[in-house]
Amino acid sequence: MYGVLTDDRELAYADVGDQPHFFVEAVDGTRREPLEGAVNAVACWGDTEAIRADPALAAVAADGTRATPAARGQHWGTVCPSADDYREALLERIERVGSVGDVRLTTVGFPGASFCHCERCTRAFAESSFDDRETWRTDLITDFVASAADRVAGDLLVTLYPDPYPGHLRERTGIEPAALEPHVDGFVVPLCGVGYGTTYWVESLAHGFASELEAIAVPLTIQLSAADVDAERLAELTRQLESKADADGVVYGTHPDDADTVRETIRRLSVDESTLTA
């Protein structure tokens, strides 16, 4: 399965690949109407505009750092997952998007291992039955994804931070893939780089995820970037991922200027498939 990930409605409807992924809600706070026939991507806790409007919503690290775009290591604002009013409004938005079709969740977990130590989280952890904060964080995120799944009529996909080392997703974001297995229909891992001058890191990370998720019956999609790369290099990288990482699908982050590259990439891959089945 091949497709594009885009925020351009015309490109999403241009029949490039099997199924488009469309940015309905982005981390800058932009919100669009969902598209029928697309996997509509919703940024969950990543919401820079919400943080600008209400800084108290931001997740807080153990040293007091708030998850804003100005903080080191943060590229957008991240809302604390314990912010109940925001969580409920987010689930309502996911339900509305999910009434149209499949949904992909991005920025699903915490923005780093030291988050969140805001008053909300400190109080909630103290009142919980958990002895350690990491387990409590994982339960919080798992419960959120389960609640989202209940509100989506089609498939639910979850984006994973590109760190397959055992235990790192749980430590970094509060996401435990095995715990999400009953609730999700696919995982997506973004492995995006400009031009892919080197590709060993893409192969290594993708293979690591294939190994880490081997015991989980959930399809794995790899997201690549189509920026500043030629079709043959992108096609060859896709071939490597399909053979070495056993990827179930590849989606290409695509702007209108990159659309011809992706079309040609998919054409070359389709020729490969036709040759194998001939």
Q: What's the mean pLDDT in 77-96? A: 98
Mean pLDDT of the region 233-251: 89
Asked if residues 68 and 74 have their Cβ atoms less than 8 Å apart, the reply is yes
SS3 call for 222: strand
| Residue 116 near residue 150, CB atoms below 8 Å | no
Check residue 247 and give its pLDDT: 85
Range of the domain at 260: 2-277
- As given in the structure block, the two tokens for residue 41 are 């991507």
> Residue 217's domain is classified under what CATH number?
3.20.20.80
Total domains in the fold of the chain: 1
Residue 181 has pLDDT above 50, yes or no: yes
Whether 235 shows a pLDDT value over 60: the answer reads: yes
Q: What is the mean pLDDT of residues 32-57?
A: 97
If pLDDT is split at 50, 70 and 90, which confidence band does 194 have?
Answer: confident
pTM for the full predicted model: 0.94
85, 175, 184 from 22: Cα distances, Å? 26, 23, 18
In this prediction, residue 244 has a pLDDT band, given cuts at 50, 70 and 90, of confident
Average confidence score pLDDT of the chain: 94
**Which amino acid is it at 53?**
A
Dihedral pair phi/psi, residue 164, rounded to 5°:
-85, 0
Q: With bands split at pLDDT 50, 70 and 90, how would you rate the model's confidence at 275?
A: low
What pLDDT does residue 220 have?
A: 94
Euclidean distance between CA atoms 203 and 248, whole angstroms: 14
Q: What is the mean pLDDT of residues 263-267?
A: 95
3-state secondary structure of 55: helix
Q: What pLDDT, on a 0 to 100 scale, did the predictor assign at position 15? A: 87
